[in-house]
DNA sequence: GTAACTGCAAACGCTTTGCACTCCC
DNA sequence: GGGAGTGCAAAGCGTTTGCAGTTAC
């Protein structure tokens, strides 16, 4: 998704295009590690010194409504933002919180089987695997 | 898991057996809808009028450490407690938050394939499907 | 008897809200 | 020019913490 596509998506949905929104949207799309609101804030503050956490949260809600990102609530109460809306598995280090995505064709087949078995119209899904990453293993 | 087993598990791990702990543990095991801490509090208050939310939280942490329950953080920031530690799918109404579990044999096979593909030692997992339940559909 | 547990209240951290100012269109 | 968006600070809410009193063992 390039700048132009983002701008068009905003305009189509009658949201104004602002520097902050563009920056937040581009940032989250460029990251594969599902950052938290505060991580986004800390990094964008460098280039946009007056940006506020409130704006980050409002924009993230907007991006979720537009279907660009997915919120992921975790057990310690933290919320992370995932720009991958396709069926995938979040591989999560339960120690440091690092996340990467895993895609497997076989998941798709199984998933459609389950859906038809359940007889529901799914609105979304979330699949996590928790493990301890190599960095954390070394540290202990 | 009956009373005696719970008591033994507590003692084995050198935790004292109190009326509150037993009540919380039995309550959560008996429920299939993954209640929140406050729901547990509201219901137990009837039989244990002096029980406090602090005790609920402390006990839930303890039960998680003992491996009896699993915490599930959701997108709106809420945390729900799931007493089913086996591989299963949480079927979640994204409107009212109702949850029920779905177990399928075929998930297990796929899961072990994915694990060996990833080459990791999983510590746990979580699989959610979001949909709108019949009650909520009617209401709209 | 004593260390662990409970209940209460205060503290905490993340998220949301309200409002005056600003800026996109 | 006008209304949506921003930034700031305050409020909100679920969870955690600290501590004096209580209870299991």
Query: What b/e sequence results for B62-87 when a residue is b if at least 16 CB atoms lie within 10 Å of its CB, and e otherwise?
Result: bbeeeebbbbbbbeeeebbbbbeeeb
Cβ of B123 near strand C (distance < 7 A): no
Q: Which residues contact A89 (CB under 8 A, 6 or more apart)?
A: A101, A102, A103, A104, A107, A127, A128, A129, B114
Instruction: Tell me which protein residue sits closest to nucleotide C6, measuring alpha carbon to C1'.
Output: B55
Q: What is the mean pLDDT of residues B48-71?
A: 97
Quick check: B133 pLDDT over 70?
A: yes
Q: Closest chain A residue to B95 measured between Cα atoms?
A: A123
Confidence of residue B137 (pLDDT cuts 50, 70, 90): confident
Strand partners, B79: B73
Question: In chain B, which ranges are continuous DSSP H helix?
Answer: 3-12, 19-30, 37-47, 53-65, 105-118, 134-139
For C22, nearest residue by CA–C1' is A18
Say what the pLDDT of residue B139 is: 72
Instruction: Return the SS3 of B56.
Output: helix
Query: What residues 34-93 of chain A have any CB closer than 8 A to a CB of chain B?
Result: 71-79, 89, 91
10 Å Cβ neighbour count for B134?
10
| Interface test mutation site (partner B, options A85, A91, A131, max chain B beta carbons within 10 A) | A131
Distance A89 CA to C17 C1' (A): 35
Higher pLDDT, B101 or B1: B101
Does A140 score more than 80 pLDDT?
no
Q: Which residues are B82's β-sheet partners? A: B70
Residue B92 distance to chain A (closest CA, Å): 9
pLDDT tens digits for range B110-126? 888 889 989 999 999 99
For residue range A29-71, list pLDDT tens digits in order.
Answer: 999 999 999 999 999 999 999 999 999 999 999 999 999 999 9
Protein CA A17 to sugar C1' C25 (Å): 10
Q: What does CATH list as the number for A3-80? A: 1.10.10.10
Phi and psi torsions of A58, nearest 5°: -60, -40
pLDDT of residue B131: 92
Q: Could you state, in order of their start, the residue ranges of all structural domains in chain B?
A: 3-80, 86-139
Q: Which residue has the higher pLDDT, B76 or B52?
A: B52
Q: Is the CB of A130 less than 8 angstroms away from the CB of B113?
A: no
**What tens digit of pLDDT does each residue of A60-111 get?**
999 999 999 999 999 888 999 999 999 999 999 988 889 999 987 888 888 8
Instruction: Determine whether B9 is exposed, middle or buried from the number of CB atoms within 10 Å of its CB (0-12, 13-18, 19+).
Output: middle
pLDDT on residue B140: 65
B105 lies within 8 A of chain A by CB: no
Q: Is the CB of B41 under 7 A from strand C?
A: no
Q: Tell me the chain A residues in contact with residue B113 when contact means C-beta distances shorter than 8 Å.
A: 106
Q: Please indicate if any CB of chain A lies within 8 Å of the CB of B132.
A: yes
Å between A14 CA and C21 C1'? 22
| pLDDT for the residue A19 | 97
Superfamily of domain A86-139: Ferric-uptake regulator, C-terminal dimerisarion domain (3.30.1490.190)
pLDDT attached to residue B71 = 95
């Amino acid at each position: 998704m390039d700048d132009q596509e983002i701008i068009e998506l905003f305009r189509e949905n009658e949201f104004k295009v602002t520097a902050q929104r563009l920056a937040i949207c581009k940032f989250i799309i460029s990251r594969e590690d599902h950052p938290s609101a505060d991580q986004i804030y800390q990094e964008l503050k460098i280039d946009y010194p007056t940006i506020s956490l409130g704006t980050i949260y409002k924009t993230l809600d907007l991006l979720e409504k537009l279907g660009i990102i997915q919120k992921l609530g975790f057990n310690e109460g933290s919320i992370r933002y995932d720009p991958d809306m396709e069926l995938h598995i979040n591989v999560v280090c339960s120690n440091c919180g690092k996340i990467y995505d895993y895609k497997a064709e076989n998941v798709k087949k199984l998933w459609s089987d389950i859906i038809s078995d359940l007889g529901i119209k799914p609105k979304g899904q979330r699949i996590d695997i928790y493990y301890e990453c190599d960095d954390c293993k070394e540290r202990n």
